[in-house]
Structure 1
Amino acid sequence: MKDLQKLVGNLNKSGALSGFLGGVAGGGLTSLVAAKSSKKTAKKTLKYGALAAVGGLAWKAYQQYSEQHKNTQPQVNKHTNNFDFTPAKMAEHSFTQVVADDNGNGQLLLMRAMIAAAYADGHIDETERQKIFAQVEEMDLSVHEKAMLFDELRKPMSLSELVQAVPDAQTGIEVYAASASAIDLKQPVSGQYLNVLANQLCLPQQLVQSIHQQLAD
């Protein structure tokens, strides 16, 4: 699994966070990624910054997809979900709401997606495990939330369980972005995992490509 702080820095440099963090917390998080560091600020940056970075990346990818495919018809697969990825239909605030969810469901789902993706090859070695433990411990989470994530490390969500937990299209885009950001894309099994995830979420291939392009920038 990639370092969440490094992810924040990379996406901030790429512009994926521009304007997005302000939407998550009324501008409060924008200053958090500017490296003004108190211990409390650092915790909030790690808790929200990386997840907001994923949301910002997902929004930027959706914007790019919308610009390139303005006349694309809605893609809905009634056998799996009713998600509608029509270009330019979803607003930025619908992406920020996933991370800004007051009860934390959106934030935890993205973390669970990252953990599930890290398990795509069937295991996480001890070094990776300790790295994840350290990241979760640094996050400003409740005891219950931390316990939930540690349980995920012992028994991560299956891909089908993850897909079933996705409530809407914008969350689906963010779940895919979170998964792709946490996985080793050089491994064949990683590509297979992401292909199945994209298919089950009914993500248009052009949107998937936009997400990967944002991650590569």
Structure 2
Amino acid sequence: MFDPKKLLDELLGSNIPGTTGTVRDQAGKAVQMAKDNPLAAGALAAVLLGTGAGRQVTGSAVKLGGLAAIGGLAYKAYQNYKAGQQPSVEPVAKEPELLPPPSETPFHPSQAPQGESEFALTLIRAMISAAKADGHIDAEERQKILGRIGLAGLDNDASAFLDKELASPLNLDDLVSQAKTEAQRVELYTASRLAINADTRAERGYLDLLAGRLNLPDSLIDHIEATIQGATVPVAANAADALKSPW
């Protein structure tokens, strides 16, 4: 069985457990290396998104790991919302600071009722569902994606899981039901928003529908949006371009 938490780390470009850097750091920064390995500049999310591009965590967030980074973003947005603050997008600093959610809060990975690994799978499914929202991942695109997933060094079980999820029809009710707490509903939406830029009508419509199913108020969604914008950067353009190249 593959490690869902490690796969989520790779999706977000976070530190890989047992190594000293991120997927893209390990691969190198040269343009040619990015062409040989799209993960070098944009993490596994760029592969899953195919012709699209989402946002990836940066600064201190990449050191937290995927679960803690998503939990930290969701917790920060939720706290600002509960405090009655006005959503505001701060300029992205070179090394934006993001703290992990406090251990005693339901946003901390250890507090997941279904266990950390199972909730990591839910967040991965949320990101894939969001990536499929605009309909561009058809059978041909899926094969193209799977052909590049091997570049991430994933084992057969992880590749098979991604293949199944990419091929499965969107089931929003099932996805929403996997969020067991209010905190997890906020995290599920946060992960979905990280996966896409939401600059198409289909993507924006999907996120609106997801927020409604999760019963998240508009003002909280605004805080999530502002928090994500302040702690992430767009997936690198050269990674997306590499995915489109004919090689």
* TM-score, scaled to structure 2: 0.55
Decide whether the 8 Å contact of 1:133 with 1:150 is kept in 2.
Answer: no
Decide whether the 8 Å contact of 2:142 with 2:166 is kept in 1.
Answer: no
Tell me the distance in 1 between the aligned counterparts of 2:196 and 2:107. Answer: 22
Tell me the distance in 2 between the aligned counterparts of 1:132 and 1:115. Answer: 17
**1:95 counterpart residue number:** 107
Quote the offset at 1:189 in angstroms. Answer: 0.9
Structure 1: runs of 5+ lacking an equivalent: 18-31, 34-47, 70-89
Cα 1:95–1:156 change in 2 (3 A) is farther
Decide whether the 8 Å contact of 1:58 with 1:174 is kept in 2.
Answer: yes
Tell me the distance in 2 between the aligned counterparts of 1:111 and 1:91. Answer: 22
Q: Work out whether 1:161 is the aligned partner of 2:174.
A: yes
Equivalent of 2:57 in 4, 7, 11? 11
Cα 1:108–1:216 change in 2 (3 A) is same
| Larger RCO (CA within 8 A; separation ≥ 6) | 2
Quote the offset at 1:133 in angstroms. Answer: 5.8
**2:229 counterpart residue number:** 216
Quote the offset at 1:118 in angstroms. Answer: 0.3
Tell me the distance in 2 between the aligned counterparts of 1:170 and 1:65. Answer: 13
Give the RMSD, CA atoms, in angstroms.
3.6
Q: Work out whether 1:123 is the aligned partner of 2:136.
A: yes
**1:194 counterpart residue number:** 207
Quote the offset at 1:52 in angstroms. Answer: 2.4
Equivalent of 1:170 in 183, 199, 222? 183
Decide whether the 8 Å contact of 2:146 with 2:163 is kept in 1.
Answer: no
Quote the offset at 1:63 in angstroms. Answer: 1.1
Quote the offset at 1:188 in angstroms. Answer: 1.0
Decide whether the 8 Å contact of 1:99 with 1:107 is kept in 2.
Answer: no
* TM-score, scaled to structure 1: 0.62
Q: Work out whether 1:55 is the aligned partner of 2:55.
A: no
**1:185 counterpart residue number:** 198
Quote the offset at 1:181 in angstroms. Answer: 0.7
Structure 1, 99-108 or 177-186: larger mean CA deviation: 99-108
Percent identical pairs in the alignment equals 34
Quote the offset at 1:176 in angstroms. Answer: 0.2
Tell me the distance in 2 between the aligned counterparts of 1:132 and 1:179. Answer: 24
Q: Deviations over 1:121-157 (max 9, x none)?
A: 1232638962896389546x7x555533331011154
**1:134 counterpart residue number:** 149
Q: Deviations over 1:52-102 (max 9, x none)?
A: 211111111111111116xxxxxxxxxxxxxxxxxxxx9863111268765
How many residues are treated as equivalent by the alignment?
Answer: 164
Q: Work out whether 1:204 is the aligned partner of 2:217.
A: yes
